[in-house]
Amino acid sequence: MWVRKEMPARGDRLDEGSVPWEVPDGVLNFRDTPLLVAVDPYGDTVFNRFQIERQLPREVTYLRQQLSHAGAVEMLDELERLMALATERVHRYLWFVGD
C-alpha cells in the first residue's frame, strides 16, 4: 500500500506502507467490504479521496471485528495511517500495488 499524488500516471510516493495487504479468504465480501474485495493482488488498485473518506473507514471497522491477530491489527493500523495521509490534501490517492 502507498499514497501517491498523481493519477493516472504514478506520481512520486508520498509515503509507503511497510506491511503487506493480506486478508484471509472468506473475510472480504461485496456487502461488508465492497471496495477492499476488489483489491487486485496481481495488479494495481487505486482509491480516491471520496472513497477513502466515505467508505473505507466502515470497511476497516468491519475487518477489525473479523480479524484480531497481531499481523492483521498492524496491517489495518498501517492502512488507516495511509488513509489519513491520502485525505490531507486533494490529488492524493491510496494505491495497492500488486505483484
Torsion sign across C-alpha atoms 13, 17, 18, 21 = negative
- Between helix 70-86 and helix 56-66 the angle, nearest 10°, is 170
pLDDT digits (tens, 9 = 90+) for 13-37: 666 666 788 888 899 999 999 999 9
DSSP 38: G
Q: Is the pLDDT of residue 79 over 70?
A: yes
Per-residue pLDDT, 50: 96
Per-residue pLDDT, 54: 97
Per-residue pLDDT, 87: 94
* pLDDT average, residue stretch 4-20: 65
Q: What is the pTM of this model?
A: 0.84
Distance CA 99, CA 31 (A): 26
